Structures are given as C-alpha cells and as structure tokens.
Structure 1
Amino acid sequence: MPIIHSGSSQPVTFKYIANIPLWQSEKPYVIDQIPDIPEGSLSNLIYEDHESHSLHNLRGYEEGVNTFDNSFQFIKHPTKLTALAEEEMMVPYAEEINDLLKTIFKTDHVITYDLRSKAGKKGIAQTEQEVHPSRKLFKEPQGCISYCLNYHSRDGGWDRVARHLTDEELAKFKSGKWRARIVNVWRPLIPIVEDNPIAFLDPATVHDEDLVEVDRVSPISCGRMYNIKFNPAQKWYWINNQSSEEIAVFVCFDSHPPDGRFNYPGARSDAPIRQSVETRTIVFTLLP
C-alpha cells in the first residue's frame, strides 16, 4: 500500500553495512557480553555512510501508515509510568504495552520479553523481573543505534520466539495456523526528540539483496539479524519533534521493516541527548 506523505524530502546521512566482497567468504558477526575476547575480534562489521535524498516527514500524515500495511506506525499514547523509578516501571509498563498490542492486533497471545532503556551513554547494569511465572523480562540499557538494521532475519526471528516458549507452545504456534510477529514499541524519554530521531524504511522499497544476515553472539544465544546495504530506491519516513507521548510501533519479524537513526542536520548543537525506552513483544494471531 503506498504511503501518503507531504511529498517533501530532505537529504540526510545514514550508516549502512558496507557492500564489500568480504561477506561472500566471511559471515558478518558481532560478539556481545562475552569477557576476555580480544577487542579486535569482537566484530568484523564494516559500515559506510551514504546520503539519502528520500527521507519524508510524516508529521500531519501519521494516519497514512499502519503496522498491517506498512509494518510501522506512530501513535499518541501518553503514560505516567515512565516517571517512576526504573525498577518500579518495568513490569507495569510492559503490561501496559501488552494491553496496547492486544488491542492493535486483536489477540490475547502477547509476550513482552525485553525492555531496554537507551541513551547516549550506558546506564545501570542489566536487570530482570518476573512478568509471568514462566518468563522473565530483561531490562538492559544501551547506547543509541546509529546504523541501519532490521532486528531479526527470517530464521533468526523464529529462533528468538522459541527462546520464550515451551516445546508445546512452539509446536502450537508453528503448526501453520498462527502468524508470529515480534513487535517493538519505542518511546522517547525526553519531552521532544530534536536530534538522532528514529526513522523507518518503507518495506516495499527494500529488496532481498539489500539484506545481509549478521550473527550476534552472546553467552546464551546466537541471534541472526539483518543489516541493510544502501540502495538509492529505498524510502525513509520519520516524524519531526517526536514527543514522549508519541510512540513508534513497528514489526521487526514477519514483514521485516528495517529502521535506523540519523543525525538531523536541523537540530540545535546543544539539543538534549536522546533517551528512549523500547519494549520487544511476541504477538501471535490466528491466520484466516
């Protein structure tokens, strides 16, 4: 479905995975949270900057996109929970997001498995709290991601889902009767995002050859993610001055809409460092 927008665009620079012959003989990887690994061995990833002339501001046209047709949308959704201390906020905020996604996708089958606080610098250490007797909610502060990515590859998405289900649940939801999505909900924690805002690619403009699978290795798993190669046909969308009452809801497994962040050339030099909270939720819906 075509995205309705203002028609105006502006040039900005995004960081893409390098389009180099190395990936034909060596799989890209990054090692995370594993001690005693020499710094030069933590990753073989190489990125390159490309200027895009297809960044469109959806401010005033937010209703022209939705998660079903375009895999992302912006929603007005105020909350008082982010004013709480971080440890007090985790579980009730995850439950609030669960209720929102149940309404959007018309299903009772949702599992929020991750909550991440992101800022220019890392904050507190990783913590976890119980959301469900058989599941844990992890909260891990991270720096802002500045390159273009999609969170899960086609196979990697099911790997991620399987980590949070029993064998019986996995068999049920992979029976061919259900559709599985992993849905992120991203909210600024500062009043207005002036610099380093989030932007989304129109998935209809992303080709299979633009996707490069990357292994993300941790002590407990090997995730498989997509990074994005530059293609001048790609079209990006954002909203300027996104507030803490406006959330971005986007599918990162199923329809695979890549997302990225960029340095906004119109931002003040003293603009506050972007801070955000992000949840990751598995959503199951019955197929027609």
Structure 2
Amino acid sequence: MEAKTLPPVHSLPHFVGRATFIKDRPVFATEQPYEVVGTLPPEQEHLRRNTEFELGDIPVYDLRQDFEAPSLDTHGFEFLRRPELSAFDIGSEDGLKDYLRAVLAFLQERFQTTDILVYNYNVRNSKERPTPEEYSGSQAKPQSIVSEAHTDGTDEGGFLRIRHQLGQDYAKYNDGSWRSRIVTLWRATRPVEEAPLALCDPSSLGSDDLINVARPGRDFVGEVSYVKHNLNQRWYFLSDQQPDELTLFSSYDSMDNTKIIGVEPDPSPRATKNRVSIDVRAIVLTKLE
C-alpha cells in the first residue's frame, strides 16, 4: 500500500497558536533534566524541577479538508470517525467504565490483537489549573490542557512504562516475537472551540529539537520528551473537532523510534465554551509474523 502524504502547508488554512517550549539550559550538560510528579514537602518545592520553559508562537495547519491524510503508521497519528464512541456519558462512573470497555474493543479491532492493556485515562478541561502536586484527571477534578509541547514517551521511557504496567507478564512479551506500542485515543466531549489538540509531523523535527526529561513519581520513574521552539516544525489540527471525531496517536513503538509530539495551544478568547476531552492510553502488543 502506498504511504499517505500530508498536503503542503501553503495549501492549508491555519491559525497562530501559542504554546510552551523547553529551554536548553547549560546545566543539562552535567545534570539529567527532571521534574518531580506528585507531592513534595513545602520546603522542597523549589527542587521540583530543573527545567525552564518559554512561550512561542506556532502556525497550526488545519486538516479538516484532508481528514484521511494522516496515518498512524506514516505520521504517528490519524483521525477517525467513530459515532458509537461518542454516545457514552463519561460524567457517570458506569458511563466511564462502559466507555473504557468500548475503547478497548475498538483498539482490539483496530490493531487486530486481544493483547491490549488500557492503563490510564485523563479528563481535561481548558479552564482548570490544578497545582503540580494535585491528583487530577477525573471528571470530578479534571486536569488542565497540556500547553507544553511534548511526547508522552521516549525509547527508554516507553520501555520502562510497559515493563512497569505488565509486571510479571512482561517476560512473556519480551522474547523478541512481539511488537509493543503505547497509543493514546483522544476525544472531545463537546465540539472544540478552543485549545484544539495539535500534533507535529515527526519528519519536521530538527535533530536536536527534543530534550528527554525524567519524571520521578511515587512508584514509577518515567521519561518524556519536551520540545524546543523551532519554526521549521509543522503542526496540524482538526478544526471544529466533533465528539465522534477521534485522534489516535502513538508515543512509543518498539519497531519505530518516531514519536508523535502534541500540544494544546492556549485557549482562544473568542470561544464561548471551554474544551473538555478525555484521553485514554493503552499498551498494544502484536505478535510478529
């Protein structure tokens, strides 16, 4: 099958969004970049991170007229129309459980494997601003949007996440005969008027655009990549994204070191409704032929 291509950006409508990008500090020559997740004693709060960030404007190009152009295998993300996944009331406990079961069934269909673990979900609201130490991500206490340009995993971080989540089952899938991926299924619960999910074409990233950052928490040390500002990067979104229009993207793939970079640009003052969304993360394990 011929690989899909994204249309040239000069042919696409766009808006200029503002996002947060990591600074490349001299201290990183001698220190691992890090940020602590979770609660710290007040007297240690100043030690939470050694990273610094800056705001930067980015043109974000609209793929509404090219809905089927991006593909997960080629670009690391794709858009999907799945009306059946927009019918759940994630505001109720039973509705949320039903939605997560439906997501699992969809992913099993999409990747043609039953070896899938849904391990995490987050509800986000563009008006929320929880503090770093707060637990959030539920319907009752949503997380804020993600204004930092980032990927959810690195080669090392994805491997550690899978090993941590699978526990004793990890050995079964680590014999060289399995492809392991971490994917996110993102869906807005109402039409998106502000803070759309924007994704970067990995082929537009410079060789030193990413900085890996350790994220030690209470029971797990993860690793993500943050992005430095570079106007050569090509960012895309889907205008007026509807609840039945989902975005599927990859943050780790044992057979491909290309990672998708995401950001949710700052809210628009013209929006009449804040954005509410749910993202579900899953480990996908596929037996190699």
Normalised by the size of structure 1, how large is the TM-score? 0.86
SS in 2 for 1:166: helix
Q: 1:84 to 1:70 in 2, by over 3 A?
A: closer
Report how far residue 180 of structure 1 moved. 0.7
Maintained 8 Å contact 2:76/2:260: yes
Aligned residue identity for 1:181: R
Identity level (%): 23
Aligned counterparts of 1:103 and 1:237: Cα–Cα separation in 2 = 26
1:72-87 alignment, distance < 5 Å = 72-78=77-83, 79=85, 82-87=88-93
Aligned counterparts of 1:207 and 1:171: Cα–Cα separation in 2 = 35
Aligned counterparts of 2:230 and 2:76: Cα–Cα separation in 1 = 19
Bigger CA drift: 148-157 or 206-215? 206-215
SS in 2 for 1:73: strand
Aligned counterparts of 2:16 and 2:27: Cα–Cα separation in 1 = 29
Aligned residue-pair number:
273
Name 1:252's counterpart in structure 2: 251
Report how far residue 273 of structure 1 moved. 1.6
Where is the strand percentage greater, Structure 1 or Structure 2? 1
Give structure 1 stretches of 5+ with no counterpart: 129-138
Aligned counterparts of 1:221 and 1:65: Cα–Cα separation in 2 = 33
1:111-122 alignment, distance < 5 Å = 111-119=117-125, 120-121=127-128
Name 1:44's counterpart in structure 2: 50
Aligned counterparts of 2:15 and 2:143: Cα–Cα separation in 1 = 29
SS in 1 for 2:199: strand
What is the alpha-carbon root mean square deviation over aligned residues? 2.4
Aligned counterparts of 1:125 and 1:34: Cα–Cα separation in 2 = 9
Maintained 8 Å contact 1:58/1:237: yes
Q: 1:49 to 1:63 in 2, by over 3 A?
A: same
Aligned residue identity for 1:45: T
Name 1:89's counterpart in structure 2: 95
Aligned counterparts of 1:271 and 1:200: Cα–Cα separation in 2 = 24
Whether 2:97 is the aligned partner of 1:98: answer: no
Maintained 8 Å contact 2:137/2:143: no
SS in 2 for 1:164: helix
SS in 2 for 1:242: coil
Aligned counterparts of 2:246 and 2:174: Cα–Cα separation in 1 = 30
Give structure 2 stretches of 5+ with no counterpart: none
Aligned residue identity for 1:32: V
Name 2:205's counterpart in structure 1: 206
Whether 2:71 is the aligned partner of 1:66: answer: yes
Whether 2:265 is the aligned partner of 1:262: answer: yes
Report how far residue 122 of structure 1 moved. 6.3
Match of 1:30 among 24, 28, 35: 35
Q: 1:114 to 1:86 in 2, by over 3 A?
A: farther
Bigger CA drift: 228-237 or 195-204? 228-237
Name 1:180's counterpart in structure 2: 180
